[in-house]
Amino acid sequence: MSNQIQINQKLMEREDRLAEIFELERQIHGILGGEPYPLAPPDGLPSRQKRMKPKRKAARNQAAPVRLRKLDPETEAAYRIVYRENQAEKSEIHTDARPLALLANTALPRFAIERIETVQATQDGGWERVEILYTS
């Protein structure tokens, strides 16, 4: 058994004994009816030592995740996503923001989102932009 392991075992035994001593001192305090008795705690206990917490590594230039707000029911009817897939620009209409946010936060080859916007229906069956929520 290495020296360090033996030392650690003895330090743990020492701390157990000191915990027993603390309990005895607490009982003395109880017998005295709460009156203080001059018993100083021993210094240098491993349990009283401050330990350094490992520092967290800072995020490396990661962009904040895309979050899309809910639609305003009075002025907005859906979301429109405009993206490039294999160099062709495409556009889709969605009523749920969750899959769009998931897609915007996932890097895919040959696929790039250009913008996500809110839209409202027009009289002629088309869609009119209300607000741009995300641009690349």
* pTM, two decimal places: 0.54
| Separation CA 41–CA 107 (nearest Å) | 58
| Separation CA 20–CA 60 (nearest Å) | 49
What residue spans define the domains of the chain?
A: 1-39, 78-135
pLDDT of residue 47: 66
Token representation of residue 129: 């932009």
Q: What is the pLDDT of residues 10-45, one digit of tens each?
A: 888 988 888 888 888 888 888 888 777 776 666 776
